A and B are shown apart, each in its own frame.
Chain A
Amino acid sequence: MEITTQEFKHCDLFKIKGRVDSSTAPEFSKALENANNDGHFKIAIDMSELEYMSSAGFRALLATQRNCKRYNRGELVLVSVPERIREALELAGFTELFKTFDDTVEAVGSF
């Protein structure tokens, strides 16, 4: 797993590559927490190069979404979610909890 971050005026864009499972989810979770701790609550996650995500990753997304939306201070949105991962998110009943975008320009522009 590899995470890169880009700060825009109105939001942070995370790009996550590779696989998120119980082994790598703590690092993913920590990166999102750090953004929240710095007062950044508008976050887009580019998943175009994400190969795999288990429920450990879903839990990190859920916890971050909760934190971002508290006091209406922001939101976490997902970008270019690969089909298999979208299907798993659907199975977990998560799709209604996250707005999704087809490309990063659109996602960043939505904030």
Chain B
Amino acid sequence: MPKTTFPAKFEYLDEIRDFVAEIAREGGFTEKEIYSLQLAADEAASNIIEHAYEGVANGSVDISCSMQGNSIVIIMRDQGAPFDPSTVKQPNLKADLSERQIGGLGVYLMRKIMDEVRYESNSRTGNLLTMIKRRG
């Protein structure tokens, strides 16, 4: 399974998106699906950088990405503070402009795009986020 370690800095989001896109493209996903997968990976990594590594200067994120049958499996592992996306309140998309929430949107997009988003936190091995999407 291709695995790369990225510094937990927003400047590396470009490379994280490229890494996921390459495997998705080899795996036969359409360009439209690839864009969504890049968005989901970006939102997941952004949350790790912003929340799990809040105030930490030298964090890193291990990202592995591979095709398993017809599905792409993206796994992100970090050693930061636990940040469970499932605890993030879903934004109310019907709220009008003045009441529309600014936060929670990234996690919402991850869930909408991916078929499965799983999170585990372990004090020894760190935080593990698994995201899966079937092709087509």
Contacts and interface: CB of A to CB of B under 8 A. Distances in A.
A22 B49 contact: yes
Contacts of B93: 92-93
B128 to A, nearest CB: 21
A54 B100 contact: no
Interface residues of B, number: 28
B100 A62 contact: yes
Query: Most chain-B Cβ atoms within 10 A of its Cβ — which of A54, A56, A59, A87?
Result: A54
Contacts of A88: 35-36, 39, 109
Interface stretch (A2-10, A31-39, A63-71): A63-71
Contact of A63 (B91, B102, B113): B102
Interface of A is mostly: helix
Contact of B46 (A19, A22, A65): A22
The range of chain A's interface size is 20 to 34
Given A21-B14, A63-B102, A91-B113, A56 B46 contact: yes
Interface of B: 10-11, 13-14, 17, 32, 35-36, 38-39, 42-43, 46, 49-50, 91, 93-94, 97-98, 100, 102, 105-106, 108-109, 112-113
Given A22-B13, A66-B97, A84-B32, A55 B50 contact: no
